[in-house]
Structure 1
């Protein structure tokens, strides 16, 4: 048995880019769609079956897992993490996609730095403050903060 590591390089594989998209490397983007005039910051991973809308800005160190869709004119802050596995059966799904759940982010949503977003639906025109943890659907426009995220305005 060899002690050599298996090395996988970051890059872009099977990505559908819209017009005038800016990506700052290094990034790991695969099997996703990035809308027109969007921006993807460095050290970002966007997995397959993710759709990013037009004019959306994704800042550095963000992780967007499979089954996430983000609308148009959104802002995703630094270090935001999307989650699709809620450990329904007491532990990780270990690749069993039937246990994963989707996340839908509407248009004109701003998500602050270091927010964690569980599988939820977020309506249009929402601001989520830095460090919040979104555990439930957000069905009313407004400003949300805290853990769990709650409406303050």
Structure 2
């Protein structure tokens, strides 16, 4: 854990890395191996599964869900972590409340609208929204 980290209980943190000045709200679960960059904020009721890397100065809204199991075989991986996929979130990314983030890469300077479902990599800065999330406008 970095310096000046604020964690509001209750929450579940399992062997994750939190950079300097990170804020974690109540009822958040962050699983093993997750990295959260400095000055990022994670709001209440969010779930960050293993294999997620969040950059610096990011905002994760209320109730955001990260997914690492794509049910490739038509069913859950059943705890077989070799079937899980990684998610990488760049710096200065804001993810609106109740968004769902599948295993993707999101570049720096992106805004994801509330309730959006990100199913593909985002390689261009901008505002994205919808299901599946699409570019609304460039930044």
For 1:101-128, what per-residue CA distance to the aligned partner results, in whole angstroms no more than 9, with x for missing partners? Answer: 0000000000000000000000000000
Structure 1, unmatched stretches of 5+, are 1-16
Tell me, what secondary structure is at the counterpart of 2:82? helix
Aligned residues: 137
TM-score, structure 2 as length reference? 0.98
Give the distance between the partners of 2:42 and 2:76, measured in 1 at CA: 26
Map of 1:145 onto structure 2? 129
For 1:29-77, what per-residue CA distance to the aligned partner results, in whole angstroms no more than 9, with x for missing partners? Answer: 0110001001000000000010000000000000000000000000000
Check if 1:85 corresponds to 2:73: no
Map of 2:108 onto structure 1? 124
Q: How does 1:1-153 map to 2 (within 5 A)?
A: 17-153=1-137
Give the distance between the partners of 1:81 and 1:69, measured in 2 at CA: 14
Structure 2, unmatched stretches of 5+, are none
Per-residue deviation, 1:139: 0.3
Runs of 4+ aligned residues of structure 1 deviating over 3 Å after TM superposition are none
Give the distance between the partners of 1:35 and 1:60, measured in 2 at CA: 18
Give RMSD over aligned pairs. 0.3
TM-score, structure 1 as length reference? 0.89
